[in-house]
Structure 1
Amino acid sequence: MVHDHGAMLRDKTNGGEMHITILGGAGFLGRKLAARLAAEGRATSLTLFDMVVPAPLAAPFPVRCLAGDVADPAALAAAIPPETDIIYHLAAVVSAAAEADFDLGLRVNLQGTLAVIQAARGCARPPRLVFTSSVASFGGGQSAILDDDARQMPANSYGAQKAAGELLLQDASRRGLLDALSIRLPTVIIRPGRPNAAASSFVSAILREPMLGLETTLPVGEDFALWVSSPRIVVEWLLHAGFMDTSPLGMDRGVNPPGLTVTVGEMLDALSPVERARVKAVPDANVAAIVGGWPARFLSRRARALGFAEQSHLPAIIAAFREDDLAATRADRAL
């Protein structure tokens, strides 16, 4: 039994109560999503949950900031009270970290998602649950052009854990326990802050670090292609997924959003000559082995038909980072 709660959610947005929880609420996407929800007054209460207590958020409604383990049922019960209407499940151990520590990846990415499903069963009404899956859940590499019905064949543990989470959420939706939508995110650029443990961290670093006046390394060749998206468009996708009518999805709860295919060379060419010179080629076989299996081209026809917005061109992505995050990143890194 597949339920759609889009009409109920839209009615609530027009005057009823709307209780939203963001798991991974201290991360940069969680913070940007929370800020949009606050600015647009889309909720009557918001819970931000992460491994560390998320920073306070100014909002026209109550905001709770909680710390805990996403695989801990007691912590999730506090983060997802019975009145919850929408759960954004952004919490994860990133790709290279999940590859390096198999048990950690299983506990957070798989057992954590199981725990979220169980917590959602305690809600008064089956909640909408938006799950950030990943391009890493697919294989095929550089030559692949994937349609919407392409089979997920991950070539890394992170992707396998994300694909497994999608199946579990799809079945929970079929059973009427929740109303899930899994967005298979492209590589998100340009991430603010510092490099992280993701195998794709270099994709942001080769743009961000030169803009900060710092040198960085490039582990793959300039002809390497990637499927990318900006933080701005990802927030738009998350908002759309949270409030859309999910009845057209039927049993298939996974969506390949309309990302952008670019090569590393095209990314470097978008920098100034001085900035470009700060990127040094240093091949890394471990990174190349992980990202080399990720496809770079998706047709994304279904997502467009469902109303997911198109990713803009690369210069707009870079301009958005300069406008939204460059100054804050400089301050965060004391530059």
Structure 2
Amino acid sequence: MHIAITGAAGFLGQRLVRQLVKRGELDGRAIRRLTLIDQVEPPAPDAGAIEIVSRALDITTPGGLDSVLAERPDVIHHLAAVVSSAAEADLDLGMKVNFDATRSLLEGCRRHGLAETRLVMASSVAAYGGELPEVLDDMTAVQPQNSYGTQKAMCELLINDYSRRGLVDGRVLRLPTIVIRPGRPNAAASSFASSILREPLSGEEAICPVPLDQELFVLSPSRVIEALILAAEVPGEALGAFRALMLPGITVSVAEMLDTLREVAGDEAVARVRHEPDERIRSLVASWPARFDTARADRLGFRRDADFGEIVDAYLAERS
């Protein structure tokens, strides 16, 4: 089996590569080759019998992925993206990377006759927005309130249509907010959700730009990687005509997140979190719904974390 990954140098991409190498197989077939794609050449782990090819490619250029698609990968994990705040700040960049590159990828699959290739795209809870019911599901109409969510929603529609036409076997995962991310804060509006835990646990200060009662729908990094792999194994007919699904997560408020931090590391850690309201970030995050009925994903075998304490414990165990 040949698997290609865009955004392979990123946080999720690197974790996915490591897990695929560890497994050595996907959907009962041995992984023979991993093609790693990013704007810089992705690092390649020692993979034993698996051939790893790292390529620095600009996927926003027309035909930029043709050399990879000509090799007819069995699975494409499409993770490359400009994150939320950056896409909001620079409309042209967000459209170029998040939408145009995805359309180009789909057209490349069409040109190369990759009808059987399973294309897994990472979308976002940001595809939802506007006036919404208390609890959403996969079929709740998307009405994104920011450019990032709009770009992801447009890609979802294209993948649905190309799959309906038999041009590719697409599947879209709407990701909850991922916590706790390692490293440093990035340009994502949700970046604070990791930093208000990660930095205090390391003895550093962090800034919380949203109110304590702000709720988030969250999922741990390990569950996201598990979901990306499962998405490539689920038969297309099990997904049906609508190829996008919201991953299971848990609903937690910022106050509850800080309570968990207090339980783990004490009042001193919580005191390292400074509350500095940022209306730009608050408005973006507030547009993201926090409660979902994910029965469809549950039936397909996708899993959530048990509670927020489990997420923090997993981060601490990985860090040690």
Q: TM-score band (shorter)?
A: over 0.9
**Alpha-carbon distance in structure 1 between the residues aligned to 2:314 and 2:95:** 35
> Which whole-Å deviations, capped at 9, do the CAs of 1:260-298 have from their partners, x for residues lacking one?
100001111111222111101000000011111000000
8 Å CA contact 2:77–2:121 kept in 1: the answer is yes
Runs of 5+ in structure 1 lacking a partner?
Answer: 1-17, 328-335
8 Å CA contact 2:63–2:104 kept in 1: the answer is no
The aligned counterpart of 1:21 is 4
The aligned counterpart of 2:247 is 257
8 Å CA contact 1:138–1:152 kept in 2: the answer is yes
1:218 maps to amino acid: C
The aligned counterpart of 2:34 is 46
- The higher relative CO (CA closer than 8 Å, separation ≥ 6) is in 1
Q: TM-score, normalised by structure 1?
A: 0.89
The aligned counterpart of 2:77 is 88
The aligned counterpart of 2:44 is 56
Counterparts of 1:246-285 in structure 2, within 5 Å, are: 246-271=236-261, 272=265, 273-285=267-279
1:148 deviates by: 2.6
Identical aligned pairs, as a percentage? 46
**Alpha-carbon distance in structure 2 between the residues aligned to 1:65 and 1:212:** 33
Structure 1 186/193 Cα, relative in aligned 2: closer, same or farther at 3 Å? Answer: same
2:276 maps to amino acid: V
1:246 deviates by: 2.1
1:109 deviates by: 0.4
The aligned counterpart of 1:6 is none
1:142 deviates by: 8.9
- Of the structure 1 ranges 274-283 and 306-315, higher mean CA displacement relative to structure 2 is found in 306-315
Structure 1 137/84 Cα, relative in aligned 2: closer, same or farther at 3 Å? Answer: same
* Runs ≥4 residues deviating over 4 A: 140-143
8 Å CA contact 1:141–1:295 kept in 2: the answer is no
- Of the structure 1 ranges 141-150 and 123-132, higher mean CA displacement relative to structure 2 is found in 141-150
8 Å CA contact 1:137–1:163 kept in 2: the answer is yes
8 Å CA contact 2:115–2:169 kept in 1: the answer is no
**Alpha-carbon distance in structure 2 between the residues aligned to 1:173 and 1:118:** 12
Counterparts of 1:63-82 in structure 2, within 5 Å, are: 63-82=52-71
The aligned counterpart of 2:28 is none
Count of aligned residue pairs for this structure pair:
309
8 Å CA contact 1:82–1:124 kept in 2: the answer is no
**Alpha-carbon distance in structure 1 between the residues aligned to 2:298 and 2:2:** 28
Counterparts of 1:27-38 in structure 2, within 5 Å, are: 27-38=10-21
**Alpha-carbon distance in structure 2 between the residues aligned to 1:143 and 1:246:** 29
